[in-house]
A and B are shown apart, each in its own frame.
Chain A
Amino acid sequence: MAKGKVTINEVICKGCGLCVSVCPKKVLDLSTTKINAAGYNPAEMVSDDCIACTSCAKMCPDCAITVEKLD
């Protein structure tokens, strides 16, 4: 059961992968199917194990991540 939800602004994400590298639950990965207008593969959630720790959002250089805690 997911405790958190990560929303990624795919328009401004530059696919740098810093969020992917710091996620303790390996919830994120760079998309292999999507590509944005700037040519980057944005990050996306690949599992439901998010604990809303906000590590990904703290490392995101482009403020592309919003984290919600689920009740």
Chain B
Amino acid sequence: MAVVFEKTKALTDVKLHYCPGCAHGIVHRLVAECLEEMDEVKNAIACVPVGCAVFANNYFNFDAIQCAHGRAPATATGIKRVHPDKMVLTYQGDGDLASIGTCEIVHAAARGEKVTTIFINNGIYGMTGGQMAPTTLPGMKATTAKAGRDPKINGNPLRVSEMLATLTGPAYIERVSVSTPAQVTQAKKAIKKALEIQKQGLGFTFVEVVSTCPTNWGLTPVKAMEFVRDKMIPYYPLGVFKDITAEEGK
């Protein structure tokens, strides 16, 4: 009898506070597994956001700092410049990164800071109760868009990965999802590649994860995963948007 899957040691035994079926738990595990496999757990510093993942420092079994709202890339910049040999990553949601922290993420990417950002895009503000986010899909209901988002009034959702891919600074940008086991495997590969590129000091790395919020979407966890596949991924297509290691190989 051989154990083929067990909880990674890079996560603590604290019970996650997330709602049932929240994909934050999956992405936490992927980040932790990647760091454990790279033997970088003792060398990692996570910059955690304001939002549902604000207590991620309780779950990561490595150093972490809670940053001011949206300012995780700025905090990570400081840490990485003082400790260039550490693995520095930011873990941010869409309210944190794509709204109040847009300035910080764009400029950290433009400067090519050698950190990794994990961006959880679930199209809604989770912690504060389901308000419309910059990434809410057209027609998607939120507490501040009762009839669904109307692009004429509320504007159109941001595609952050595509936007950052136009810059020179980033080394690697990929959008993944976690709505099926195969997508989870691909997401892990993307996170690991981003961390490896950071380790090589090649530039800014960014992994966007199209995620779920079953509670505020008003769906069961299983239906929320279907919503990701049917509605979110057509607007936020998965794939690699920038990879300087692939370009060098051409």
Contact = CB atoms under 8 A, between A and B. Distances in A.
Interface of A: 4-5, 11-12, 14-18, 20-22, 40, 52, 54-55, 57-63, 65-71
Nearest to B180: A22
B221 A63 contact: no
Contacts of A40: 20
B184 A21 contact: no
A45 B51 CA distance: 35
6 nearest interchain CB pairs?
A61-B25, A16-B21, A14-B20, A16-B20, A67-B5, A16-B221
Given A18-B221, A57-B5, A63 B25 contact: yes
Interface in B78-93: none
Contacts of A71: 1-2
B221 to A, nearest CB: 4
B170 to A, nearest CB: 28
A58 B181 contact: yes
A55 B225 CA distance: 15
A43 to B, nearest CB: 11
A67 B4 contact: yes
A11 B25 CA distance: 16
B128 to A, nearest CB: 21
B1 A61 contact: no
B7 to A, nearest CB: 4
27 contacts: A4-B4, A12-B16, A16-B20, A16-B21, A17-B21, A17-B222, A18-B21, A54-B181, A58-B181, A58-B184, A58-B185, A59-B178, A59-B180, A59-B184, A60-B26, A61-B16, A61-B18, A61-B22, A62-B15, A63-B7, A63-B8, A67-B4, A68-B1, A69-B1, A69-B3, A69-B4, A70-B1
Nearest to B29: A63
Contacts of A60: 25-26
B149 interface: no
B205 to A, nearest CB: 23
Given A15-B20, A20-B222, A59-B178, 4 more contacts: A58-B5, A58-B26, A59-B26, A60-B25
A16 B5 CA distance: 19
A44 to B, nearest CB: 16
A34 B180 CA distance: 27
Contacts of B220: 17
Nearest to A63: B7
Contacts of B23: 61
A68 B29 contact: no
Contacts of A59: 26, 178, 180-181, 184
